């Protein structure tokens, strides 16, 4: 079948010449590309043949040009702008789901099984706006009594301790991590599940991962169930340690994320894809989500604690429906949530200097506050730049191109022929074509620089955004410790119990210090690579503009 092209712009052929008028979106059969001077010959649906500027059309791939199918209109900024606008997403989840449910089944159908059916971040289902909660103040009080007090924010003992998220499946005894701190929890953790914190230089770090691995998130597939009535997107995950692919839907990620947040209250959990992602095509949207899931997965794999957690391993490896449900139930019944998880930690013997811990956490607090602002501003900037590149920058270039191209066209009229006999005229037309092409480069570019940069900073936004809760959870433990010291001074608490509280508070502080260091070393390597990659892409982009203009400039010589 002959190649087909689609008009990207209107072109008004000069009447009485061999030029042919074409209309944006029109599909033409390509007859001859050897005309020269930037002209091609084609035939329209009415059977008319004629010449049109090559720069005004794009070639269709064989599947696009299948004769039975009307080609979709070329993407133009004006349309894209509407899809981007806040009005579509400002109302949050509902609009998002509507926008997303076009065809990708991201979260518009649900399994009938029992685990979480909470959509991604639907506010009414979230336990609270913050991961912090007020915990019971009284030492030794049974954890099972805790639920009655959980909303009592006016408690006279206003410290915040050991925050976890509510878990509607978990028995009430799991809600607080306070039992760990107050030494009422004594569980023997198997050696394989123990996590070590070691000294490194002046600081403390998580012991290195003994068997590093990574996981690739492959381009998602559309799968179907109920004999094809329902379709949904599933992402294919392949861990390097077993090379066995598993298929996971967003809701599986979401369930995993909830478990992780419950369990690790001293470790920021990397975020899932942003609900604010939008794209002009569904495919682009799905791909952005894949990239952000890959960022999530990468961070998990590189984290010494998270990477070996049982629920994550289950998520990565389970391929059997029955085992999946069993593992799921087990994870939901996990007792070692929140501060209780600290029973798994093995820390240096040395007691920490509280003043030193205070200094580090205060500095971290200031740092995180400032990072939060700037990470958000980089994220917004990436979104804005993407929008500008694909919108006005592209359009502006194309307006430049069209103005110059039309100048060439006007000049060729004086030659009385469509095929310019003059070098100058054809060089001017080519210049116009080059700017139209540069416009397309602007449209295409964000996926190489602004979007990956934005995806990376989406990750940091999530992690940095979780840090205040992590710090508050630690601070709560420290306050509880002071309270216990006071109680002991007042002879209301045994010295032996206090010593155990002191030791356990140190474990919590060690965990925080290790996590602060982990974040620092991870981001140092990661940000360097990110910025280098970004700058290389930017450089390559502007170099390609230079190349294109230099080719054009050479047309004027000879």
Exactly one of 326, 424, 489, 496 binds its own copies (CB under 8 A); which one? 424
Exactly one of 209, 400, 441, 502 binds its own copies (CB under 8 A); which one? 400
As measured in angstroms, the least distance from the Cβ of 191 to its own copies is 34
Exactly one of 63, 202, 414, 490 binds its own copies (CB under 8 A); which one? 414
For residue 290, the SS3 value is helix
Burial of 25 (0-12, 13-18, 19+ CB in 10 A): middle
Q: How far is CA 478 from the centre of its chain?
A: 34
As measured in angstroms, the least distance from the Cβ of 530 to its own copies is 10
Q: Which is nearer to its own copies, 399 or 440 (CB)?
A: 399
> CB of 182 within 8 A of CB of 501?
yes
Phi-psi region of 382 (alpha: psi -120 to 50; beta: other; left: phi over 0): alpha
545 is an interface residue for its own copies by CB under 8 A: yes
Q: Which is nearer to its own copies, 252 or 447 (CB)?
A: 447
- Which region, judged by CB under 8 A, interacts with its own copies, from 146-154, 172-180, 347-355, 362-370? 362-370
Residues ≥6 apart with Cβ < 8 Å to 529: none
As measured in angstroms, the least distance from the Cβ of 350 to its own copies is 23
By CB under 8 A, how many residues form the interface with its own copies? 56
* Whole-number Å distance between alpha carbons of 175 and 184: 14
- Which region, judged by CB under 8 A, interacts with its own copies, from 78-86, 141-149, 227-235, 368-376? 368-376
Exactly one of 60, 311, 371, 493 binds its own copies (CB under 8 A); which one? 371
Which of 43, 48, 51, 55 has its CA nearest to residue 4?
43
DSSP strands (E only) in 251-395: 345-346
Which of 380, 384, 399, 401 has its CA nearest to residue 446?
384
The CA-atom distances, in angstroms, between 465 and each of 167, 341, 456 are 21, 22, 14
362 is an interface residue for its own copies by CB under 8 A: no
- Which region, judged by CB under 8 A, interacts with its own copies, from 76-84, 190-198, 221-229, 396-404? 396-404
Strand order in the sheet with 49-53: 49-53, 39-43, 27-36, 4-7, 57-59
- Which region, judged by CB under 8 A, interacts with its own copies, from 94-102, 144-152, 269-277, 373-381? 373-381
428 is an interface residue for its own copies by CB under 8 A: yes
Sign of the dihedral defined by the CA atoms of residues 248, 254, 260, 266, in that order? positive
> CB of 541 within 8 A of CB of 444?
no
Binding mask 3-32 for its own copies (x = CB under 8 A): -----------x------------------
Q: Which is nearer to its own copies, 346 or 419 (CB)?
A: 419
State the DSSP H helix or E strand holding residue 54, giving kind and residue range, or none if neither.
none
Q: Which is nearer to its own copies, 308 or 399 (CB)?
A: 399
Exactly one of 66, 326, 403, 489 binds its own copies (CB under 8 A); which one? 403
Binding mask 210-229 for its own copies (x = CB under 8 A): --------------------
Q: Which is nearer to its own copies, 422 or 479 (CB)?
A: 422
Helices (H), 67-158: 77-84, 86-89, 93-100
542 is an interface residue for its own copies by CB under 8 A: yes
State the DSSP H helix or E strand holding residue 376, giving kind and residue range, or none if neither.
helix 354-388
State the DSSP H helix or E strand holding residue 172, giving kind and residue range, or none if neither.
none
- Which region, judged by CB under 8 A, interacts with its own copies, from 48-56, 121-129, 307-315, 380-388? 380-388
417 is an interface residue for its own copies by CB under 8 A: no
Q: Which is nearer to its own copies, 385 or 390 (CB)?
A: 385
As measured in angstroms, the least distance from the Cβ of 409 to its own copies is 7
> CB of 311 within 8 A of CB of 256?
yes
Binding-site entries: 249, 251, 289
The CA-atom distances, in angstroms, between 5 and each of 49, 68, 402 are 13, 15, 19
326 is an interface residue for its own copies by CB under 8 A: no
Which of 297, 372, 360, 376 has its CA nearest to residue 515?
360
531 is an interface residue for its own copies by CB under 8 A: yes
As measured in angstroms, the least distance from the Cβ of 545 to its own copies is 5
Which of 532, 453, 528, 523 has its CA nearest to residue 299?
523
503 is an interface residue for its own copies by CB under 8 A: no
- Which region, judged by CB under 8 A, interacts with its own copies, from 46-54, 169-177, 215-223, 540-548? 540-548
Q: Which two tokens stand for residue 130?
A: 């913050």
Which residue reads 């420290």 in tokens?
478
Sign of the dihedral defined by the CA atoms of residues 151, 152, 154, 157, in that order? negative
The DSSP output letter for 392 is I
538 is an interface residue for its own copies by CB under 8 A: yes
Binding mask 461-500 for its own copies (x = CB under 8 A): ----------------------------------------
Residues 508-527 that bind its own copies (CB under 8 A): 520, 524, 527
67 is an interface residue for its own copies by CB under 8 A: no
410 is an interface residue for its own copies by CB under 8 A: yes
* Whole-number Å distance between alpha carbons of 249 and 395: 37
* Interaction site with its own copies (CB under 8 A): 14, 363-364, 366-367, 370-371, 373-375, 377-378, 380-381, 384-385, 388, 392, 396, 399-400, 402-404, 406-407, 409-411, 413-414, 416, 422, 424, 427-428, 431, 520, 524, 527-528, 531-532, 535-536, 538-539, 542-543, 545-546, 549-550, 552-553, 556
């Amino acid at each position: 079948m002959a190649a087909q092209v689609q008009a990207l712009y209107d072109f008004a052929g000069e009447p009485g010449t061999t030029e042919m008028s074409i209309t944006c979106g029109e599909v033409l059969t390509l007859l001859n590309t050897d005309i020269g001077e930037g002209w091609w010959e084609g035939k329209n649906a009415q059977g008319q043949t004629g010449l049109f500027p090559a720069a005004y059309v794009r070639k269709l791939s064989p599947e696009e040009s299948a004769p039975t199918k009307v080609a979709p209109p070329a993407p133009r900024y004006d349309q894209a702008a509407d899809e981007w606008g806040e009005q579509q997403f400002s109302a949050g989840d509902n609009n998002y789901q509507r926008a997303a449910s076009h065809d990708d089944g991201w979260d518009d159908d649900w399994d009938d099984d029992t685990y979480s059916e909470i959509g991604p971040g639907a506010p009414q289902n979230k336990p609270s706006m913050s991961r912090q909660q007020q915990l019971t103040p009284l030492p030794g009080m049974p954890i099972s009594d805790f639920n009655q007090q959980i909303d009592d924010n006016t408690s006279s003992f206003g410290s915040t301790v050991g925050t976890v998220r509510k878990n509607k499946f978990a028995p009430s005894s799991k809600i607080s991590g306070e039992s760990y701190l107050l030494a009422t929890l004594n569980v023997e953790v198997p050696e394989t599940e123990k996590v070590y914190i070691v000294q490194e230089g002046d600081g403390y770090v998580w012991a290195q991962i003994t068997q590093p691995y990574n996981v690739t998130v492959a381009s998602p597939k559309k799968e179907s169930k109920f004999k094809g009535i329902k379709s949904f997107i599933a992402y294919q995950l392949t861990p390097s340690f077993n090379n066995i692919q598993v298929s996971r839907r967003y809701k599986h990620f979401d369930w995993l994320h909830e478990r992780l947040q419950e369990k690790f209250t001293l470790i920021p959990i990397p975020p899932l894809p942003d609900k604010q992602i939008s794209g002009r095509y569904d495919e682009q949207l799905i791909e952005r989500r894949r990239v952000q899931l890959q960022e999530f997965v990468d961070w998990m794999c590189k984290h010494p604690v998270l990477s070996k957690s049982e629920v994550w391993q289950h998520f990565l490896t389970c391929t059997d429906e029955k085992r999946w449900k069993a593992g799921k139930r087990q994870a939901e019944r996990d007792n070692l949530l929140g501060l209780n998880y600290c029973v798994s930690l093995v820390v240096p013997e040395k007691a920490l200097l509280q003043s030193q811990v205070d200094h580090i956490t205060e500095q971290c607090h200031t740092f995180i506050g400032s990072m939060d602002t700037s990470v958000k501003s980089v994220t917004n900037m990436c979104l804005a730049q993407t929008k500008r590149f694909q919108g006005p920058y592209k359009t502006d270039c194309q307006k430049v191109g069209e103005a110059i191209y039309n100048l060439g066209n006007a000049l060729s009229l004086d030659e009385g022929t469509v095929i310019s006999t003059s070098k100058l005229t054809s060089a001017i037309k080519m210049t116009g074509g080059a700017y139209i092409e540069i416009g397309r480069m602007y449209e295409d570019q964000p996926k190489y620089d602004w979007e990956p940069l934005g995806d990376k900073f989406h990750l940091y936004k999530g992690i940095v955004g979780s840090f205040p809760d992590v710090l508050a959870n630690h601070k709560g433990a420290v306050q509880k410790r002071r309270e216990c010291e006071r109680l002991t001074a007042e002879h209301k608490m045994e010295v032996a119990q206090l010593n155990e509280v002191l030791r356990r508070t140190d474990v919590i502080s060690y965990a925080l210090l290790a996590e602060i260091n982990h974040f620092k070393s991870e981001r140092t390597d990661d940000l360097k690579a990110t910025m280098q990659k970004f700058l290389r892409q930017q450089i390559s982009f502007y170099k390609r503009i230079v190349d294109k203009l230099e080719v054009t400039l050479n047309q004027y010589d000879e």
